[in-house]
Amino acid sequence: MQRNNLRKWSLLLGAAAIVALPMPSWAQLTKYDLESRIGMESHVGNITGHAKDAKPDYRRYCVVCHGELGDGNGESFPWVDPKPRDFQLGVFKCRSTPTGTLPTDEDLFDTIARGLDRSNMPQWSTFTKQQRADLVAWVKHFSPRWTNEKPGTPITIPPEPEVTAERIKAGRDVFARVQCWKCHGVLGQANGPSAATLTDDLGRPIAAFNFTEGARPKCGDTDRDIYRIFMTGLDGTPMPSFADNIKPDEAWDLVFYLRTLMSQKSKEKDMAKQLGLKPVDPNAPAGQQ
Amino acid sequence: MSKPYNSAAVLSAVVLICCGALILGQKVNAAGEGKISGTVKLDGPAPHMRGIDMSKDPYCVKAHASSPGHLETYVVGAGGGLANVVLYISEGLSGGALTEVPTAEPVFDQKNCMYTPHVLPLDVNQKFKVTSSDQTTHNIHPLPNPMTGNIPWNQSQPPGAAPIEKSWKAAEVIPVQCNIHPWMHGWHVVVKGPYAITDDSGNYTINNVPPGSYTVTAWQEQSGTQTQKVTVAAGAAGSANFTFKAK
């Protein structure tokens, strides 16, 4: 009788385990899901990328970090920091599109060529444009978001105005008003009061950008890139979008002021020196910098 | 019993019901006026809610000078009533009662470096506003699982910023955080169909429930979920009381 019971229970438990095992807590995609999207395309300029053509390149160059299923869980995952992107989530730092929207094909195309500074993602400038476009389509085929949604509309960036002392000073006011210093510090040294506790969307510690150590911002180091970074935010990280709170003209002022914090030589840096510009005072009352 | 008396009573009852229906008809939608109500309590003494060190931001410290900020994981009122529990119908709804989206646009405010309310229940596709009453910059950063169809976003709100209007596409419990003030942690509980949240005494009422048999789920941020079967008959409200244990 007892043995009978035991057998019944072990059978039941076994059945439960079989039912429970293939159900991961975080909705994981399978190879089958991915196969169904192998027809994914990308369009960059007049080039059309095809996911299926990127498979050999992905398996040779990308899979070791980004993984067979594109979930960022490749062989190198444990030793890489920042962690490889999980393409299944469809959440990307470097976008020309508003926060919470998909990037454009061009955005991904540029990221592959640019690489991500201070990470294990190198510049893949050795690829032909066709190879890169194919890889963009391949990256897209990992996430159901590209089947269900359209990319966001890229933000409009007005032409860059002439740098003036007034603009740099106005940029300093924006830096104080929207409180960039809370994370980036008053001197841009990534030592603001909130810098130490920053985490990414998956709860992993992440550092604010340090302007003073000669590093290039991850999403590009042209003036337009910097404009785009704070106006779209870096999704998946603590860096929010300031699009609702900084007007386009002010945004250029802020770009110029950020240049004065960077260690690289620039016209803005020389002008700030001439002006004797002081760092913002976090304790000054609003509007009295 | 005299017959005229009876028919007069019936007539007056009918008239009353008609008048009532006319008046109520303005407010009550097609789902009808059924409801489910009850009380949610915490079993045992209220757990100690740890104080929050806000010294990162002098503005927040000043805002809490008279009432120090503390965690809001369990908000327990008189008699053990448990606040911030979301109640919704997880099974049994169909048609309009399931798909109708409330027109009310609730507000999720950042006030004194805390979220008010701490828990915001929402229907799928219901619009809500994020506002800031603070003189310090916040970034509002909900963290849904992108696999559900809800997409994470992250926007700044410096002092005086305009409200942000948003909605969620899918039912999900979404944690919301501010990276600048890491203690700021709230919840958007997105459900399909009518919902309610308990008040400070632990009481709740889910309105607009058509007669039928349902499973009601109660969600508490730390203790998890509980369910109960409830029947709503025409003209008789359903009732379900829940008791949670602190974790």
CA distance B179 to chain A (A): 6
SS3 string of A38-52? CCCEEEECCEEEEHH
How high is the ipTM of this complex? 0.84
Which of B60, B153, B164 to mutate to test binding with chain A, by most A CBs within 10 Å of its CB?
B153
A61-92 residue pLDDT tens: 999 999 999 999 999 999 999 999 999 999 99
β-pair type (B242-245, B36-43) = parallel
**B152, B146 Cβ separation under 8 angstroms:** yes
B145, B159, B182 ranked by CB distance to A286: nearest: B159
Structure token pair of residue A81: 């920091």
Query: What pLDDT, on a 0 to 100 scale, did the predictor assign at position B86?
Result: 98
Query: What pLDDT, on a 0 to 100 scale, did the predictor assign at position A19?
Result: 43
**A53, A90 Cβ separation under 8 angstroms:** no
Query: Angle at Cα A108 formed by Cα A105 and Cα A112, nearest 5°?
Result: 140
Query: What pLDDT, on a 0 to 100 scale, did the predictor assign at position B15?
Result: 46
The strands making up B172-177's β-sheet, listed across from edge to edge, are B119-123, B185-191, B172-177, B138-142, B155-157
- Pick the closest to residue A87 from A45, A148, A34, A155 (CA basis): A34
Look at A100 and B152 and tell me if their CB atoms are within 8 Å: yes
CA distance B110 to chain A (A): 16
Nearest chain B residue to A241 by CA: give it: B155
Distance CA B68, CA B52 (A): 8
Q: If chain B, 247 residues long, is cut into consecutive pieces of 10 residues, what is the mean pLDDT of each piece?
A: 51 47 42 84 94 95 94 94 98 90 96 97 98 96 93 95 96 97 97 97 95 97 97 91 95
Distance CA B89, CA B225 (A): 12
In this prediction, residue A177 has a pLDDT band, given cuts at 50, 70 and 90, of very high
Which of B62, B151, B157, B184 to mutate to test binding with chain A, by most A CBs within 10 Å of its CB?
B151
β-pair type (B212-220, B86-91) = antiparallel
Look at B164 and A194 and tell me if their CB atoms are within 8 Å: no
β-pair type (B238-239, B36-43) = parallel
CA distance B181 to chain A (A): 7
Place of tokens 């008003």: A177
A25-61 residue pLDDT tens: 345 677 778 888 999 999 999 999 999 999 999 999 9
CA distance A246 to chain B (A): 10
φ and ψ of A72, to 5 deg: 75, 15
Rounded to two decimals, what is the model's pTM? 0.84
Query: How large a percentage of chain A has pLDDT more than 70?
Result: 90
Residues of chain A contacting B, Cβ within 8 Å: 26-27, 88-91, 99-101, 143-145, 148-149, 177-179, 182-183, 193-194, 197-199, 201, 233, 235-245, 283, 286
